[in-house]
Structure 1
Amino acid sequence: MDTFRSLVALLARRAADQGDDRAYVFVSDRGTEEAALTFRQLHDASRALASHLTAAAQPGDRAILVFPPGIEFMVAFFGCLMAGIIAVPMMMPRRNSARDASAAILANCTSALALTTTAFAMRGDLQARFAQETIRWIEVDLATAAGATVDLQEPASDDIAFLQYTSGSTSDPKGAIVSHANLLANLEMIRLALGNTRQSTYVNWVPLYHDMGLILNALQALYVGATCVLMAPNAFMQRPLGWLRAISHYRAEVACSPNFGFDLCVSRYRADQMDGVDLSSLKIALNGAEPVHADTIERFAATFAPHGFDPRAMYPAYGMAEATLLISGGKRGGGHITRSVSRAALQAHVAEAPTDPDDAQVLVGCGRALSGERIAIVEPDSRERVAIDRIGEIWVTGANAARAYWRNDTATREGLNAAIAGEDSPWLRTGDLGFLDADGELFVTGRIKDLIIIRGINHYPQDIERTVQALNEGLRENCGAAFSVPDETGEETLVIVQEVERTARHTIDTAEIKGRIREAIADSHELSARHIALIRPGTLPKTTSGKIQRKLARGLWLDGGFEDIG
């Protein structure tokens, strides 16, 4: 693979060598192509926009990118890179401002510009949400702007490309500073890990303001010169099988989704809607961005094997914004690795064989460290390395790791430049718990800040949540939160907040199901669920990638913010 100094140079090469090849295609929820750009068209439109941006802001200024689903985002992103403007991808503001991170992001990055589509620029309510005297709105479309372009200086490798704000599952969002060097390093790591080539067409529904959608899908496709087919996230949520039909139609090799997306495909499966769909082209079905579950993989493989899906294509992986994106992964066609461990031993932060079937819990491996990167498992307080099969905090170092947050010196020092006892290299502290086995396979077990500690015993909330959701089809999968709160004596007690499917709201016996929940948690986890709230669908807070925001859910519960349908 050729080396480049910046993503700007990379796009220029693609425009020169593959100018007429399609870079991005946007399809509707019915599969109809609504827009497309070749590499040359993307380059020219981005360059025209960059000329406009240089007259509106100074190099180093920030520009928020607030776009509906579509290709315009990519023009805006590369336009910013060409102009030396620091891009700040953002989701559209949520109606419920109490759960919206946009205000915190704006306050931190102090953007000079806001880029969006012409249609969205006309919306007064959108601009009102971003009301700032110093912010200037610029409209972006797919047509090359008229007028001569100005000379633009190519970015240096250590120049800031964009700010990737963390999803904020356990804390306020922080802006990881991602340089061109970080991006190119991780894109090469991804290419090697996934085995991608120019023929590795992507079909992506994950939003482009999220690091999985932008880097693992849209930018990785451009990096290898492949086509990336884009879909609207809402279209996937409403008709998940449309994602699979698009994979079949475009003969895609790569598709990525958080774990819940694969669950959703299984739950919405209809044989008549899959008639003629052939998934045999799919070589990488990457599962990441949230805990990967063995039963999800098994159900997906079994459901779609009749449609040509190869189970060896399932590709669990692990990553985060502060590592640009990908941290660990397997090999193309290598399938996934599972390990049965003792549930009781996990509570003591040890991975060992179960004593009996009732003690067993199956974990999914998330691959190994990428080329040019190292992973360490560290005791978070003493900062000493722990032995193989011992659970600690996952630490990472490599050219892909960001070394600073935007205007957050404390988090930069503590989280991105930490030192392992007796070692000098700066390490990224992920905040995630996990262990390495003897072969270097990484198993992720949970978030440090989400860990529930009751009577000195560690409990992983996602395990408790899965126990609850397995009890009744009316309890929404991937839509529950377990956390602890102090009782009147100061002792930690367990709280369960669980969404109920719309179709079951008026038929479910809430008293009976709460009793079953208490019984199941007592049997499986030896815990007493003192408080259980059954809530309407869509009311549990989640990040942009679908992760449960347990800290925010805990705060909402303490403030009486959940209405129990019972």
Structure 2
Amino acid sequence: MTPDRHPVQVIEGVRTLGDLLRHHAGVRPDRPACVELDSHGEEVTTLTYAELDRRVRDTAALLQQTASPGDRAMLMLPNGADFVVAFFACAYAGLVAVPSPAPDAIHSGKRTLGRLDGIVKDADPAVVLTTAQHAESSLVADLGSVEPIVVADVPAGLAVLWRDPGVRSQDPAFLQYTSGSTSAPKGVVLSHANVLANAAAIEVLVDARSCPPDEFSVVSWLPIFHDMGLAQLIGALHAGGRVVLLPPMALLMRPFVWLDAVSRYRGWVSSAPNFAYELCVAKLTEEQKARLDLRGWRIALNGAEPVRHSTLTRFMDAFAGAGFSADTMRPCYGLAEAVVYVSGARNPDDARLADLDAEALAERGEVVAARPGHPSRQIVACGRIPANLDVRIVAAGVPAAAEQVGEIWVAGDSVSGGYWRQPEATEARFGGRLADRPDTTYLRTGDLGFVRDAQLFVLGRLDDLIIVDGRNHYPTDIERTVAAAHPAIAADAVAAFPFGDDGQLGVVAETARQVRVDRSVDRSAGGAGVAYDDVVAAVRRAVADEHQLHVASVTLLRPGGLPRTTSGKVQRKRSRDLLPDGGPKAW
């Protein structure tokens, strides 16, 4: 795919994340670097670049007394200033940071402990940077012989003991553990060079150079241990701006707090998955909208899950009165194995919609315009490729023909060298080769897509593809149909997958909040609940009509019943295990 030719600029003399912070601390010491807000949007703390640099040096000096260069340091901290300090302290000390979820960050402690245990066993950290609450709990003790350091309690004045460890650009900066939506989480090894290359490309994507650094703000509620959330932190500081951090629960409990923070801090960039934009449309009142001023919001990246055209238009319509411009919403695509950013809309024309012939796409993998009276599929473009990446569409090991579906392969400066201590998995995922570039190895993303008009379109995961009678069905399409089949079903809370041996489907879906489902509702007597059988019948009708598929099993769950990754993605393989009875969360 022809990349976006806007040049990616590097900062002179900056080769590592430590160089980056030291550079800005010298150039703009008194400018805000990090602002931490609580779940109500109230300011907790602000650190200037000079203050951040001092705290980072203090913490790095303590780390150098506790661990050796190249050791892993687990970061078990919520969104906030302490995480920023800990992350850059690892760079200053020559340690490899391992951002990890805290049990109270999004999910329950029990659910997150399993993931933490897996990360500890894989990364083998020498130290954990955390809060006083976790350091004194049984949680850290359960993680083995890992030295805890409470970041907030690191004494001031240790900076004089810090010594530059001589970190190189090719050294690992951090391990980004994958979400585990399709398999067990693996640690992606990302070097300082990988991270800075991706940050420089993002700077072009969001047009940061047209905004004075002193006015450049990034507002984020995304979990900071996740690739998209961490990228917003790094991107803000790479441009010499400030990052405004909110707890992830702020969005779920009070969506207004997110947009209010964008309004008050004049956020130039604030990004989120599709569901967050939908949540704001559904939950904000007209009175709350009237209090917002979103004219300064220039880039609203929409990624990390399938982008829906209806969401783009609904959000733009809902917040146009608050000054939100139609030019602001930008679909994008990326993955942890390439730091995060692989493609994105750089202007409104890039956020285009392809209306395709569903039969040609399903039966032959051909990208053909929709025909009147025939089934169609609408797909939102995920933008152009940055100049420092090479993206190919590959089918059967060779480049696919023009406008043909294939696997998305990526090579370039921000692509990781592989997984931490997993050579076989690394070779399988990062060892792609093409005859026309024999010296280049490509990342096999596992995602299917195609290119049209220099735009990348993403269809879904190769592993999740449902093949029935020689036709390809993408679970996201079926899940969208199920969600719209009955008002009792929650949006973005459906899993569809093969079930049985004769081309049938299984579906597990959560119901919407405040919906009561009753298997024994007597419709003739006007029962108070929604009849279970009515919802199931609606699902089967909708899927049969739109996809010509039979749903063999439908299970309805209470809200929160679907298995998800720590980044909120539905885990289809684990959802299949809930059939046929649904487990304790079933209606």
Fold-level match, TM-score > 0.5? yes
Moved more, 464-473 or 281-290: 464-473
1:77-117 Cα distance to aligned partner (Å, 9 max, x none): 11111111111001124434499422222211111111102
Moved more, 323-332 or 392-401: 323-332
Distance 1:310 1:150 in 2: 47
- Other structure's SS at 2:23 match: helix
The answer as to whether partners of 2:450 and 2:456 remain within 8 angstroms in 1 is: yes
Extract unaligned runs of 5+ from structure 2.
1-9, 518-528
Give how far 1:275 is off: 2.4
- Which residue in 2 is equivalent to 1:555? 577
- Which residue in 2 is equivalent to 1:378? 394
* CA distance 1:99–1:55, change in 2 (3 Å): closer
The answer as to whether partners of 2:557 and 2:582 remain within 8 angstroms in 1 is: no
**Are 1:24 and 2:24 matched, yes or no?**
no
- Other structure's SS at 1:257 match: coil
Give how far 1:559 is off: 8.8
Distance 2:81 2:142 in 1: 23
Distance 2:155 2:302 in 1: 36
Extract unaligned runs of 5+ from structure 1.
none
- Other structure's SS at 1:435 match: strand
1:519-560 Cα distance to aligned partner (Å, 9 max, x none): 000000000001000001111112233221112212343796
- Which residue in 2 is equivalent to 1:140? 151
- Which residue in 2 is equivalent to 1:283? 298
Identity %: 39
- Which residue in 2 is equivalent to 1:38? 48
- Other structure's SS at 1:434 match: strand
Give how far 1:278 is off: 1.1
The answer as to whether partners of 2:406 and 2:449 remain within 8 angstroms in 1 is: yes
- Which residue in 2 is equivalent to 1:157? 169
**Are 1:169 and 2:178 matched, yes or no?**
no
Among 512, 515, 533, the alignment partner of 1:501 is 512
Among 555, 563, 567, the alignment partner of 1:545 is 567
* CA distance 1:95–1:30, change in 2 (3 Å): closer
**Are 1:522 and 2:544 matched, yes or no?**
yes
Give how far 1:466 is off: 0.7
The answer as to whether partners of 1:342 and 1:354 remain within 8 angstroms in 2 is: yes
- Which residue in 2 is equivalent to 1:127? 140
1:34-92 Cα distance to aligned partner (Å, 9 max, x none): 11111111111111111101111111111111112321111111111111111100112
The answer as to whether partners of 2:260 and 2:292 remain within 8 angstroms in 1 is: yes
- Which residue in 1 is equivalent to 2:208? 196
- Which residue in 2 is equivalent to 1:70? 80
**Are 1:259 and 2:270 matched, yes or no?**
no
- Which residue in 1 is equivalent to 2:101? 91
* CA distance 1:275–1:123, change in 2 (3 Å): farther
- Other structure's SS at 1:473 match: coil
- Which residue in 1 is equivalent to 2:7? none
1:380-427 Cα distance to aligned partner (Å, 9 max, x none): xx3111012111100001010001210110111111121124531100
* CA distance 1:559–1:174, change in 2 (3 Å): farther
- Which residue in 2 is equivalent to 1:50? 60
- Which residue in 2 is equivalent to 1:564? 586
The answer as to whether partners of 2:488 and 2:535 remain within 8 angstroms in 1 is: no
1:410-453 Cα distance to aligned partner (Å, 9 max, x none): 1111111211245311001100000011x220000000011111
After TM superposition, list the pairs within 5 Å mapping 1:352-363 onto structure 2: 352-357=368-373, 359-363=375-379
After TM superposition, list the pairs within 5 Å mapping 1:102-501 onto structure 2: 102-124=116-138, 126-130=139-143, 132=144, 134-141=145-152, 145-147=156-158, 148-197=160-209, 198=213, 199-215=215-231, 217-332=232-347, 334=349, 336-348=351-363, 349-357=365-373, 359-379=375-395, 382-424=396-438, 425-437=440-452, 439-486=453-500, 490-501=501-512
Distance 1:324 1:142 in 2: 31
Distance 2:142 2:374 in 1: 52
The answer as to whether partners of 2:179 and 2:185 remain within 8 angstroms in 1 is: yes
Distance 1:142 1:127 in 2: 17
- Which residue in 2 is equivalent to 1:2? 11
Q: CA RMSD in A?
A: 1.8
Moved more, 549-558 or 424-433: 549-558
Letter in 1 for 2:22: A
Letter in 1 for 2:55: A
Letter in 1 for 2:62: H
- Other structure's SS at 2:437 match: coil
Give how far 1:167 is off: 0.8
Give how far 1:123 is off: 2.5
